[in-house]
Each structure stands twice: as structure tokens, then as C-alpha cells.
Amino acid sequence: MSDERTFIAIKPDGVQRGLISAILGRFENRGYKLVGIKLVQPTESLLRTHYEDLQSKPFFPSLLSYMLSGPVLATVWEGKDVVKQGRAILGATNPLASAPGTIRGDFAVDMGRNVCHGSDSVESAKKEIDLWFKPEELVDYKPALFGWIYE
């Protein structure tokens, strides 16, 4: 089994629309292990750090306003190839380009309300996890089902 981890956030629209259990279930059903979870009202400082690579983009002010508009469910998932597979579970950033069966393909229409964020690389996952979680907020355990998921 791999100990690769990814950061997945359910954005304010996903939280407000009551999609938390449906989204978490997609990752659980795939066989990934939840190792961190918390409901957060993010600060502007946290979001500016999280989206530092987008601050020069014209849409950044609206992204910041959107992400400050309500709580975010921050999660950390662990498992084999979880960063790449997590993004596949989420679907394309633009929901209209997302395949049916993906989270964004099933639950979103507009790019400005695309329900979730997922780390795009192992490196960014580590950075995002460290930004949103203290080490003691992550739990290391072995689920009983793992023998049925991993060889």
C-alpha cells in the first residue's frame, strides 16, 4: 500500500448544497483512506497562501470572495496514486468539460462554483496539507478492509 497523500477541499458551494457525504463517499468507495478532516472558515491569509500562484490572474478577487463566503471541508486522503486518481474522481476544473460520473460532472455547471479543490501534484499536496493541517490532526491507522483493497 502507498502512503501517498492528497488534499481535497469541499468548497463553500459544496458545503452549502449538502454534498459532503456524497463527495466523501466517492473517495471511500474507491478505497482511499481518510486521515484528516475538519470544517474550516478559512481566513484571507490562508487562502492567499493556498492560491498564491493565482494571485495575478484577473479572476483572483472573485475566487477569494467565493472561498471566503462560507465554510470549507478540508480533507486528507491516503492511498496508491491518490493525487492523480483524486483529480480523476473530481473531474475537469471546468465542470462542463467533466465527464458524467465525476464529482464536478455530476454536481457542478459553472467553473466559478466547481464544488471541490484537489491537489495537482504530490509536491503541492504536501504543501497544501501542511498549510491546512497540523501534524497532530492527521491520523495514521490501518483499516480492516485494506487487505481487500491492496495486494
Enumerate the active-site residues: 117
Is 93 annotated to bind a ligand? Reply is yes
Is 49 annotated to bind a ligand? Reply is no
Is 7 annotated to bind a ligand? Reply is no
Those residues whose C-beta lies under 8 Å from the C-beta of residue 65, and which sit 6 or more positions away, are: none
Closest residue by Cα to residue 3 from 141, 144, 151, 148: 141
Is 11 annotated to bind a ligand? Reply is yes
Known binding residues: 11, 59, 87, 93, 104, 114
Known binding residues for ATP: 11, 59, 87, 93, 104, 114
